[in-house]
């Protein structure tokens, strides 16, 4: 049972974002207690449902029976049922209107906003949003590589190997380009096979073992391999491995195509 308690706590910490989120949670808890004293209506709409959600979430028996079985890895999503932002906003609004003078009200509003801002993290920043490269909002290199592959399709789709930073982008643009491995390399969507894992590990190195990469690529019918030359240190000529350089996109991405036998 102690193990489950720790596991639930880890899920909670994961949800709030550790120390960076603790202050917003303290504000939420204070707001919830404030709501409990506002009146019967607020207790039944905000306080008691929130308390029940917290009891549900921090219940190791619920975690052991339902959480592990149906919500493995995403148990923290139970906390979406907790009206955190609504309770904070509601309590602050009611608190503001407890004061009669407008000057005091404005001061309270400004102070509350500053308090939330200082204790939180900005949602819009250079870390979260960048200038668009294109309307698709995916890497321009992924689009240009896909266009190169689609320009000479030999079948209804081609399988290709791309550098790790493009794994999530290519299929958002075109379904004519299949990947030997994609997000499954990170443990998502589906299991990755041994040979795919081997290629992924090589492509994660600065100096990939081209024998392994091209060998598996040929076995798995991958006609195209893309290297990021700003990261991968590979020889210009791969004809000895059965691949020829087709083009370079976005200055860094060298597209190699299998030489017909």
Partner 1 sequence: MNCRDILYTTVLFVLLPMWIGYLWVELLKLKDGWSRLVHAWVMGFATMLAVAQVILVPLVALKATLTLAMILWQTALSALSVCSFFLLLRRLKSGKLFGRRAEKKKWQTWSIVFGVLAAVMILIQAYIPARYEHGDDDDARFIAEEVSAVVHDTMYIDDPIAGELMYWNQGEVKKDLTSPWAMYMAMCARISDIPPAVLSHTYAPFFLILLCYAVYLLIGHVLMRGDWEKTFLFLVFLSVVHLWGYTSTHTLASMLLLRIWQGKAVCASFMIPLFFYLMYRLMHREYHKVWLGFLYVAATGACLLSGIGIITVPVILLLYGIVDFVVYRDRKKTVTILMAAVPNAAFLLYYLIR
Which 77-136 residues touch partner 1, going by CB under 8 A? 77-78, 80-81, 83-86, 88-90, 92-94, 96-97, 102, 105, 109, 112-113, 116-117, 119-125, 128-133, 135-136
**Residue in 26, 111, 175, 259 binding partner 1, rule: CB under 8 A:** 175
Site for partner 1 contains 225 (CB under 8 A) = no
User: What's the min distance (Å) between Cβ of 212 and partner 1?
Assistant: 19
Query: What number of chain residues touch partner 1 (CB under 8 A)?
Result: 84
Considering only residues 3 to 22 of the shown chain, the ones binding partner 1 according to CB under 8 A are: 14-18, 20-21
Give me the DSSP letters along 139-151: -HHHHHHHHHHHT
212 contacts: CB under 8 Å, gap ≥ 6: 198, 199, 202
What's the rounded Cα separation, in Å, for the pair 180 and 246?
19
Q: How far is CA 147 from CA 164, 176, 220, 229, in A?
A: 19, 10, 21, 19
> Do 146 and 165 meet the contact criterion of CB atoms below 8 Å apart?
no
User: What's the min distance (Å) between Cβ of 98 and partner 1?
Assistant: 12
User: What's the min distance (Å) between Cβ of 137 and partner 1?
Assistant: 4
User: What's the min distance (Å) between Cβ of 85 and partner 1?
Assistant: 4
Of the two residues 7 and 168, which places its CB atom closer to partner 1 in the complex? 168
Q: How far is CA 122 from CA 87, 117, 129, in A?
A: 20, 8, 11
């Amino acid at each position: 049972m102690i193990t489950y308690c720790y596991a639930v706590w880890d899920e909670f910490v994961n949800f709030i974002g550790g120390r960076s989120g603790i202050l917003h949670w303290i504000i939420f808890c204070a707001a919830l207690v404030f709501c409990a004293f506002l009146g019967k209506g607020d207790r039944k709409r905000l306080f008691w449902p929130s308390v029940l959600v917290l009891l549900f979430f921090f219940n190791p028996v619920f975690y052991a029976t339902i959480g592990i079985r149906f919500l493995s890895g995403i148990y923290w999503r139970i906390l979406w049922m907790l009206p955190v932002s609504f309770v904070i906003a509601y309590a602050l609004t009611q608190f503001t209107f407890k004061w009669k003078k407008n000057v005091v009200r404005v001061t309270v509003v400004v102070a509350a906003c500053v308090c939330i801002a200082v204790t939180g993290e900005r949602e819009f920043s250079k870390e979260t949003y960048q200038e668009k490269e294109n309307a698709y909002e995916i890497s321009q290199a992924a689009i240009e590589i896909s266009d190169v592959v689609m320009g000479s399709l030999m079948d209804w789709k081609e399988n290709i190997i791309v550098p790790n930073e493009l794994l999530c982008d290519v299929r958002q643009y075109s379904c004519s380009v299949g990947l030997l491995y994609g997000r499954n390399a990170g443990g998502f969507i589906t299991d990755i096979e041994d040979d795919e894992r081997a290629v992924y590990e090589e492509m994660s190195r600065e100096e990939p073992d081209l024998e392994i990469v091209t060998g598996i690529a040929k076995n798995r019918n991958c006609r195209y391999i893309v290297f990021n030359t700003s990261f991968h240190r590979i020889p210009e000529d791969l004809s000895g491995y059965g691949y020829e350089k087709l083009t370079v996109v976005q200055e860094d991405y060298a597209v190699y195509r299998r030489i017909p036998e």
